[in-house]
Amino acid sequence: MKILVINCGSSSVKFKVFEMPEEKLLAEGIVEKIGEEVSLFSYDTGEKKFFSKKTVQVKNHEESLHLIAQTLVDTETGIIKDVKDIAGVGHRVVHGGEGFDKSVQLNDEIIQKIEDYVSLAPLHNPHNLSGIRASMKFFPDSLQVASFDTAFHATIPEVAYLYPIPYEFYEKYRIRRYGFHGTSHRYVARRAAELMGKGKYEVNVITCHLGNGCSITAVKNGHSIDTSMGLTPLEGLMMGTRSGDIDPGIIFHLMESLGLSSQEVNDLLNKKSGLLGLSGVSNDFRNLLENIDNRRVALSIDVYSYRIKKYIGAYMAVLGRTDAIVFTAGAGEKTPEVREKALSGMEEFGIILDRDKNYKNFSDEGEINAPESKVKVYVIPTNEELRIAVDTYTFVSTSHR
């Protein structure tokens, strides 16, 4: 059974096709720079069968999905004979509000609810919806499933998700912590439990998703009980271009003293801050490490790592017992310097890193703690698409019974 997974960003569409239940990756690709004069399309069927990277012209997400559908059935590049061979399509949806605590089969009612949450995720949900509608058009016989970034965090208790502002703002407008990257946090938490030889509800884990967007989650007995991102993905850890936690008074100072508009402040905190803002060089760790002699670059990495350490310490206190710490996503998987800095000096908390293992497991799955460490430390590459494929396959296989 073939499952297509779609991940629509503001100017891109990532996709993967899996053979289920074998969980075998058949093809993957990405359409980038959607709506620009020249777009890019990469497509790979693996095992040296077919790879292509070319320029294309796509105006919107609908045209991108049409291109993907054509490619999958093409006599030269395709892996299927007909779009009907795609049994299910799984969609990553960023915000599910309080309405969704798990993946759901899409219908008109569900789509309307996702529309209702656009105000909570105006930069993400509209593009997710565009992908859903285009997929329904070009894969009309496929069962469509939505998997929400916020769903894994539905178990967070009131004490962790409420903000100390007038309660009526929660009652009327549902302003609260929702958290994101839930599919990734769930995947690596479950995988960590497997590596420890324990059931998924038997472990307490701190999962660190460190990509261009960064978040950290406290997972107790397999359930998310706190996470660093909040109402929006801006809160929490310092990120590639996002500030993360700051004094809210800074916003008013920028607006009143410098005359910046609310949109200008929003752009500054989301697109011009974080590693990029502090370093003045880049939000990409590859570029930063190449310029590590630059004082601001080195300082930006130190601040980034320090803030990860603070959250780890806070979540160890929340969990009471920590079985493992997991690093995942781009920087989490591929930047041992950050892992080393974030965990340095934590020996009194039972965390002892094996430096050689840390650098040896540069991007592969592995345990990087010293034998005497009471807390396991893992590098686990995330696979959100596979998690979505598994959820989608569950719906499809059930509907076929």
- Catalytic positions: 149
Q: Report d(CA 186, CA 152) in Å as an integer.
A: 7
**What span, in angstroms and rounded, lies between the C-alpha atoms of 318 and 321?**
9
First to last CA, the chain: 14
CB atoms within 10 A of CB 85: 18
User: Read out DSSP for 313-365?
Assistant: HHHHHHHSS--EEEEEHHHHHH-HHHHHHHHTT-GGGT--B-HHHHHHSSSS-
Contact 1, 393 (CB under 8 A): yes
Six token digits for residue 275: 């590693």
Give me the DSSP letters along 354-398: -HHHHHHSSSS-EE-B-TT-SSEEEE----HHHHHHHHHHHHHHH
Separation of CA 186 from chain center = 11
Separation in Å, CA 372 to CA 19, 312, 351: 41, 20, 9
Neighbours of 250 (CB within 10 A): 13
